[in-house]
């Protein structure tokens, strides 16, 4: 009897364990991208960086100026934020226009400060090397916007209740190739400040209009969609001061 059971086990097909599939978020370029999947990690890094560098009196005009002021402890935070900027920079290098909105407040509807930036495209018709200058300027504009809200995010007394929300909207510009952007992944056992830069977000260009089961076109302005985020910003921020760079 025991031998029969062993023979049946051997005849059963062995289950092969497949490698885990990488996590990714696919969105359409014309819908925009909101950093919801790793927003807490980005928020934590931005808040920590702004809080620790709020003592800098001179305006941030070059990245190396701020780098010289960093301590060894928060240098890693700066490098992580720089990875986010480099990811957005790669969008510009692919010929993609990007709009960045940095929102500060406890919620989007209660935001106190909004910075809107339109990143430059990196491709030029005459094929000159000026695209490098465009990349640097786009990166500096974004970082300068982050650094400009130091005084608001770091009050002199009392606990800070403000949060920092970062939204990126990409606009396709005659490019059919997919673009990748790196993000931060939060592990359940670690705080957001120790997020690992390992998640890959694929930004795939698509011209298809989403439809529901009945075949009707769906509303792109739903609050839970990336496009709905921009609609929500437009509806809830009519009186907020917007600084364009």
Query: Are 160 and 51 in contact, with CB atoms under 8 Å apart?
Result: yes
**Where does the chain show beta strands of DSSP type E?**
26-28, 33-34, 97-105, 113-119, 163-171, 179-185, 196-204, 242-244
- For the chain, give every domain's residue range: 22-208+226-234
For residues 72 and 5, what is the distance between their CA atoms, to the nearest angstrom? 63
pLDDT of amino acid 119: 45
Segment among 147-156, 160-169, 170-179, 186-195 with least mean pLDDT:
170-179
The tokens for 101 are: 């909105």
Q: In Å, how far from its chain's centre is CA 173? A: 20
Q: 90-113 burial, b for 16+ CB within 10 Å, e for fewer?
A: bbbbbbbbbebbbbbbeebeebeb
22: its two tokens? 């990488």
Q: What share of the chain is helix, strand, coil (3-state, %, to 5)?
A: 40, 20, 40
pLDDT in tens, 43-84: 444 444 433 333 333 333 344 444 555 556 556 555 655 665
Is the pLDDT at 11 greater than 50, yes or no?
A: yes
- 204 - beta bridge partners? 28
Mean pLDDT of the chain: 44
Residue 190 φ/ψ, nearest 5 degrees = -120, 150
Strands 33-34 and 242-244: unpaired
| Range with the poorest average pLDDT among 64-78, 134-148, 206-220 | 206-220
Residues ≥6 apart with Cβ < 8 Å to 93: 122, 131, 135
Please check whether residue 91 is in contact with residue 203, taking contact to mean a CB–CB distance below 8 angstroms.
yes
Q: Identify whether the C-beta of residue 114 lies closer than 8 Å to the C-beta of residue 101.
A: yes
Residue carrying structure tokens 């989403």: 210
Read off the pLDDT of residues 14-28 as tens digits, 9 standing for 90 and up. Answer: 555 555 443 333 333
CA 208, CA 45: separation in Å to the nearest integer? Answer: 35
pLDDT at residue number 195: 40
Angle between helices 72-93 and 131-148 (to 10 degrees): 130
pLDDT at 43: 41
Q: How far is CA 81 from CA 36, 183, 214, in A?
A: 16, 10, 44
């Amino acid at each position: 009897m025991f031998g029969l059971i062993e023979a049946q086990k051997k005849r059963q097909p062995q289950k092969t364990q497949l490698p885990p599939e990488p996590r990714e978020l696919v969105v359409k370029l014309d819908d925009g991208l909101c950093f919801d999947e790793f927003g807490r990690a980005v928020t934590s890094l931005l808040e920590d960086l702004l809080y620790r560098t709020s003592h800098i009196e001179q305006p941030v005009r070059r990245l190396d100026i701020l780098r010289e002021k960093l301590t060894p402890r928060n240098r890693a935070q700066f490098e992580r934020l720089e990875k986010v900027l480099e990811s957005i920079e790669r969008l510009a290098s692919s010929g993609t226009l990007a709009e960045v909105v940095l929102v500060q407040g406890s919620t989007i509807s209660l935001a106190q400060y909004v910075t809107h930036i339109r990143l430059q495209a990196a491709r030029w018709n005459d094929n000159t090397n000026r695209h490098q200058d465009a990349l640097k300027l786009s990166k500096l504009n974004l970082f300068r916007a982050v650094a400009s809200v130091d005084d608001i995010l770091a009050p002199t007394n009392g606990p800070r209740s403000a949060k920092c929300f970062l939204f990126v909207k990409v606009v396709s510009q005659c490019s059919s190739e997919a673009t990748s952007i790196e993000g931060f992944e939060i592990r359940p056992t670690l705080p957001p400040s120790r997020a690992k830069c390992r998640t890959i977000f694929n930004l795939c260009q698509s011209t298809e209009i989403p439809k529901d089961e009945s075949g009707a076109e769906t509303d792109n302005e739903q609050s839970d969609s990336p496009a709905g985020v921009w609609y929500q910003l437009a509806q809830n921020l009519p009186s907020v001061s917007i600084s364009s760079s």
